[in-house]
Amino acid sequence: MCKKLLILGSDYGTREIAIEATRMGLHVITSDNTMSSPTKEASTEAWNISTADIDTLARKCIEEDIAGVTFGASDFNMTMCAQLCARAGLPQYSSDARAIEVARDKAKFRELCLKVDAPIAEGVTFSTQPTSQEIENIQFPVVIKPVDKSANRGMSYCSNSRELLAAFEKAQSISDKDYVVCERQLHGEEWVANYILEDGEARLIYFGKEYHQPGQNANMYSFICTTSNGLEQYLAEVNDKVKLVFKEAGFCNGIAWVETMRDKDGHFYLIEPAYRFSSETLYALHERVDGFNSVRWYIESALGVKHSAKSLPPDLVPGGKSCVGSYHLFTSDACEIASIEGLDVLSSMGNVFVDLPKGVGSKVAKGLNAGLVKIYGNNIEDLIGTLKRVNEVFSIKDARGQNIFIRFTDYDKLKTDFSANELYPQPLRTAQGKLPNPRV
């Protein structure tokens, strides 16, 4: 009898997990409270049980002899997975409860960065509304953000005390925590660095640069593309420190990542971590770049498979022509999806993978990511050519027949960045000074 793998939720990346797990000969079950989804359709079996219903899921796991539980790019399902595995006696991503806490709490992440001298913007944590004296000590501009939300939810940029107080109230209003982070606002471009882990040892597997469509919000990244741009500097300044943070946090097996920005001072600073798939979920396609199947690694970690240290690939190095990119389909307006056109063309393209949790009839809010189109290119010109073709044939339309996602068309920026040979500042960053103590 084949082993059973339970996937929590129909999130980004879960369809790839279902497909790969099926290839591995596993009996794949996806559970959430949706009646149907692309992930459920790719699974052997589907349960209509909410991922928050741990009592029912734990009982079902025992009754059905589930061998392992996994999830996609969801912080909530990461937490539910840890609770479920502990309850059902199944292999865990990490046996250290602090790992989940650090992955979901930016203030805890800050503490570990400071402990190991990893680069992070100067800042402070407020558990109550900042006093006048505290505000006097703040050098604007700053960013205020809830410690437990992703995708920029509840985040505000502030240039004065009035904006800061309003931002504090906004962040606290959507947070499950009673404290928020205030950091110096960084100015620059952003990258995401993805790692695999085994027994606490981490390896950098891919490095992606984030792009927004000109004229749109700078933090609304419509396209993320793997690149060597900035990689040499990242490896020299940040990579080893990130690994130390992961170890201190108790990140043990599976996949983790960090988002980082290169500030106007020319150096990288860490923004936030995650202990799960990243939102662009380029893992499956990236196997065509480096030959390493990180989705299978992720699944095996959920099943409790122990890999040898020799099976870890080396850290990523600059160079290479092939690349992968993830097209985030951010909505320009709130609407109900009336039609999706061009899927047949995209499915016939051997270098494209479509991940659309939203379908016809789904209601979407403005600024929501309605889906992903992931692209492999033998080189950057090949990737850009495919991206142009996607823009020509693919659309998600509202009742008026209008396409509702923001098209990314800054092809020249992609090409220029990918081939850029950058020089980074010397000497490398020295140790940071002490930051204010958190008020938590």
pLDDT digits (tens, 9 = 90+) for 320-371: 899 999 999 999 999 999 999 999 999 999 999 999 988 899 999 998 899 9
Three-state secondary structure call for residue 142: strand
pTM of the predicted model as reported, rounded to 2 decimal places = 0.91
Nearest in space to 312 (alpha carbons), one of 193, 204, 220, 391: 204
Strands (E), 174-262: 180-184, 189-198, 201-211, 223-226, 254-262
pLDDT in tens, 256-311: 999 999 999 999 999 999 999 998 999 999 999 999 999 999 999 999 998 887 78
Q: How confident is the model at residue 432 (pLDDT cuts 50, 70, 90)?
A: very low
Q: How confident is the model at residue 97 (pLDDT cuts 50, 70, 90)?
A: confident
Nearest in space to 220 (alpha carbons), one of 367, 410, 74, 407: 367
Q: How confident is the model at residue 188 (pLDDT cuts 50, 70, 90)?
A: very high
The yes-or-no verdict on residue 422 having pLDDT over 90 is: no
pLDDT given at position 110:
94
Poorest-pLDDT segment among 55-59, 129-133, 303-307, 400-404: 129-133
> End-to-end distance of the chain based on CA atoms, in angstroms?
51
